[in-house]
């Protein structure tokens, strides 16, 4: 028989618990319980604590350098403190960390960097001189030699986008420079590669040739830290054939040791060679002295008289009707009439220049529309989406009034913008929109209204810009085939009324915006654009007297407004506090925010009586007895 197993004595519950205690004594605390040895309630608490600890461990608490997984040594090889001149010249030592970077965090950081750069950039110039008044100096060169940096340095602005990526500047960018008591216009051209047959480089070269033909003096920029390249030699040959004064600016001469290398570039055949550093402003004065000496003699012409057609009638209309030229000056205290938002309440109604921003998705025809409006080839046009990066502006004078059209870069979603230059272009497009008076929202007729179009229109609506909806490429929807009944693709021609209703249904918040059907490539409907812009700009700056507003208020039947009773307010009187956009202050019995249905009803009633075509209407509520309650 097999031997019996030795039976162990079973211990009771008390003894089993005692055996798990530490040997320090009975008073010592027990070990931390695991989730398997506790009740279900306790398990949830422990799991929540673990999740909070994990989240806290992942939260970045380090410096921006360490967040980028780069450690910068505080001292250089010689042991000197950071900030010393020797260390500023020596590159910092970096050590890459193997931990992978979170793509979402990197994307957010790039957008923050782009927004920080956008705050330093300057919008289009407010002044405009006729091309025949001032001499023109053109800056040219191959890509990534520092042309835009030199342009920004000379104009003392951040007008052109600057980055390490070559080929950022594509269109011509104009500015003004004052030196030695004389003003000169300056044009920044894109990087020129004469032998490149690709579409974008060829268009850049064509735009640069236009600027070079207009210029009186040319500044060619080369990179002094590199050897001469084939595009430099080819461009130098083209410039020498023109016979214009040419100055060679050898850029990136940041240290005195590099200055001797500038003489090597005399092989290009230029007599005037000036070493400079556009980033550090070294040698800029010497360059300007030589360029100014080569300018044509200054021509002084008589100042033209400003033709303000319609201004007298507009002023008399503001003063007529028993109203005040400045609403709120007599009917209400000034402190009560001041709106909380940043408004344009002074000087807008006497402005001679109207800024019009052309906005929309990429590749909807914004640059083509600018060329059609200005009757020139001002902007580069290509089927490649995202061609425009810098905002291109051009002034058109019609009947004594200046229209400044600004072609902005296509606004796209954040997830579809990869390069820093593209992110910066999107941010600057919104900034130019906020600085404009009227926005032309361009829609591709063949593609219809997309979600991106609605978002871009929302930017214009929320910023208080007047809006005109432009349905471009309408010729593609109406060209019929040989049978005279169908398009070349087999579909029937589109009807304007049906298409307009579809656009209105998709953009209901822009029901006040006029809608035009144009074909920018065929220059169809361009004259209607000017008429609508002039009308919308005039309506945007229109002011209604307080007396007229109160008489209008007495005629409104507020019972027709579909507003809950709890959200209704009693309006004692209202006054227009500002123009561009028209803003009205309502003095009510309660200090509550107006219901959106109430705002829409009131805005529609105002439009039926006073129009305000194409402009959003803002309201601000002021409680009449609020001040008494506070006292």
* C-alpha closest to that of 252 among 230, 280, 271, 273: 280
DSSP string covering 377-434? --S---SSTT---S-EEEEEEETTEEEEEEEPPPP--GGG--SHHHHHHHHHHHHHHH
Question: Does 142 appear as a known binding residue?
Answer: yes
- Please give the Cα distance from 368 to 321 (Å, whole number): 44
502's CB contacts (< 8 A; 6+ apart) are 448, 449
Map residue 624 onto helix, strand or coil. coil
Question: Does 147 appear as a known binding residue?
Answer: yes
Question: Does 179 appear as a known binding residue?
Answer: no
Question: Does 471 appear as a known binding residue?
Answer: no
Kindly give the residue spans of alpha helices, DSSP state H, lying in 541-576. Answer: 546-554
Q: Can you read off the two tokens belonging to residue 401?
A: 């009034």
Q: Provide the Cα torsion 331, 335, 337, 340; round to 10°.
A: -170
Contact criterion met (CB below 8 Å) for 251 and 277:
yes
Question: Does 400 appear as a known binding residue?
Answer: no
Hunting for tokens 């606004």 — which residue is that?
411
Question: Does 310 appear as a known binding residue?
Answer: no
Question: Does 457 appear as a known binding residue?
Answer: no
Kindly give the residue spans of alpha helices, DSSP state H, lying in 215-365. Answer: 230-242, 284-293, 311-319, 334-337
| CA distances (Å), origin 148, targets 129, 166, 171, 294, 373 | 22, 11, 12, 22, 27
Question: Does 363 appear as a known binding residue?
Answer: yes
> Phi, psi at residue 221, to the nearest 5°?
-110, 135
Question: Does 473 appear as a known binding residue?
Answer: yes
Map residue 188 onto helix, strand or coil. strand
Question: Does 256 appear as a known binding residue?
Answer: no
Question: Does 50 appear as a known binding residue?
Answer: no
- Please give the Cα distance from 365 to 444 (Å, whole number): 8
DSSP string covering 33-72? PPGGGS-HHHHHHHHHHHHHHHHHHHS--S-HHHHTTEEE
Question: Does 272 appear as a known binding residue?
Answer: no
- Please give the Cα distance from 345 to 72 (Å, whole number): 51
Question: Does 251 appear as a known binding residue?
Answer: yes
Contact criterion met (CB below 8 Å) for 574 and 584:
yes
Question: Does 252 appear as a known binding residue?
Answer: yes
Question: Does 550 appear as a known binding residue?
Answer: no
Question: Does 111 appear as a known binding residue?
Answer: no
Question: Does 253 appear as a known binding residue?
Answer: yes
- Please give the Cα distance from 254 to 487 (Å, whole number): 62
Question: Does 364 appear as a known binding residue?
Answer: yes
Question: Does 292 appear as a known binding residue?
Answer: no
Question: Does 464 appear as a known binding residue?
Answer: no
Question: Does 407 appear as a known binding residue?
Answer: yes
Question: Does 404 appear as a known binding residue?
Answer: no
Map residue 448 onto helix, strand or coil. coil
Question: Does 126 appear as a known binding residue?
Answer: no
Question: Does 152 appear as a known binding residue?
Answer: no
Question: Does 472 appear as a known binding residue?
Answer: yes
Question: Does 37 appear as a known binding residue?
Answer: no
Please give the annotated binding residues for GTP, written as ranges: 141-148, 188-192, 251-254, 360-367, 407-411, 472-475
Please give the annotated binding residues, written as ranges: 141-148, 188-192, 251-254, 360-367, 407-411, 472-475
């Amino acid at each position: 028989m097999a031997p019996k197993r030795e039976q162990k004595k079973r211990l009771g519950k008390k003894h089993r618990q005692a055996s798990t205690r530490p040997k320090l004594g009975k008073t010592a605390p027990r070990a931390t319980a695991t989730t398997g040895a506790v009740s279900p309630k306790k398990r949830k608490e422990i799991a929540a604590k673990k999740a909070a600890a994990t989240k806290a461990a992942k939260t970045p608490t380090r410096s921006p350098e360490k967040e980028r997984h780069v450690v910068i040594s505080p001292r250089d090889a010689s042991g000197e403190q950071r900030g010393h001149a020797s260390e500023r010249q020596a590159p910092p030592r970096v050590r890459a960390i193997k931990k992978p970077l979170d793509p979402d965090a990197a994307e957010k950081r790039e957008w923050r960097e782009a927004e920080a750069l956008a705050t330093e950039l300057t919008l289009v110039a407010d002044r405009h001189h006729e091309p025949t008044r001032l001499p023109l100096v053109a800056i040219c060169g191959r890509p990534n030699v520092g042309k835009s940096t030199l342009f920004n340095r000379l104009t003392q602005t951040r007008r052109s986008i600057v980055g390490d990526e070559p080929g950022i500047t594509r269109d011509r960018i104009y500015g003004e420079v004052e030196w030695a008591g004389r003003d000169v216009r300056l044009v920044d051209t894109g990087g020129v590669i004469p032998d490149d047959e690709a579409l974008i480089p060829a268009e850049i070269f064509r735009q640069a040739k236009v600027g070079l033909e207009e210029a009186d003096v040319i500044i060619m920029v080369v990179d002094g830290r590199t050897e001469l390249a084939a595009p430099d030699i080819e461009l130098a040959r083209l410039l020498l054939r023109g016979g214009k004064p040419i100055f060679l600016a050898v850029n990136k001469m940041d240290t005195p040791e590099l200055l001797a290398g500038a003489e090597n570039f005399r092989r290009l055949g230029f007599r005037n060679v000036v070493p400079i550093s556009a980033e550090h402003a070294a040698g800029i004065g010497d360059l300007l002295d030589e360029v100014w000496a080569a300018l044509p003699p200054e021509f002084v012409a008589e100042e033209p008289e400003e033709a303000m057609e319609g201004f007298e009638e507009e002023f008399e209309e503001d003063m007529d009707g028993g109203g005040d030229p400045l609403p709120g000056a007599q009917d209400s205290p000034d402190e009560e009439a001041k709106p909380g938002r940043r408004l344009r309440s002074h000087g807008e109604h006497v402005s001679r220049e109207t800024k019009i921003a052309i906005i929309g998705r990429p590749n909807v025809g914004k640059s083509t529309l600018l060329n059609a409006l200005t009757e020139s080839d001002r902007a580069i046009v290509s089927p490649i989406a995202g061609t425009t990066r810098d905002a291109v502006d051009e002034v058109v004078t019609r009947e004594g009034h200046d229209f400044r059209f600004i072609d902005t870069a296509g606004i796209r979603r954040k997830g579809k913008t990869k390069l820093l230059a593209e992110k910066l272009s999107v941010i600057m497009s919104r900034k130019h929109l906020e600085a404009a008076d009227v926005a032309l929202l361009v829609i591709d007729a063949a593609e219809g209204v997309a979600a991106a179009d609605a978002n871009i229109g929302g930017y214009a609506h929320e910023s208080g810009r007047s809006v005109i909806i432009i349905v471009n490429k309408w010729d593609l929807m109406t060209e019929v085939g040989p049978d005279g009944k169908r398009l070349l693709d087999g579909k029937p021609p589109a009807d304007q009324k049906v298409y307009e209703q579809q656009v209105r249904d998709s953009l209901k918040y822009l029901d006040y915006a006029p809608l035009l059907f144009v074909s920018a490539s065929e220059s169809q409907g361009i004259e209607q654009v000017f008429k609508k812009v002039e009308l919308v700009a005039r309506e945007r700056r229109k002011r209604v007297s307080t007396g007229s507003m109160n008489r209008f208020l007495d005629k409104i039947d507020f019972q027709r407004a579909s507003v809950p009773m709890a959200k209704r307010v009693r309006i004692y009187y209202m006054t227009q506090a500002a123009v561009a956009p028209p803003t009205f202050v309502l003095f009510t019995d309660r200090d509550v925010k107006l219901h959106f249905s109430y705002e829409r009803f009131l805005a529609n009633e105002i439009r039926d009586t006073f129009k305000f075509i194409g402009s959003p209407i803002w309201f601000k509520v002021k409680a009449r007895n609020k001040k008494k309650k506070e006292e």
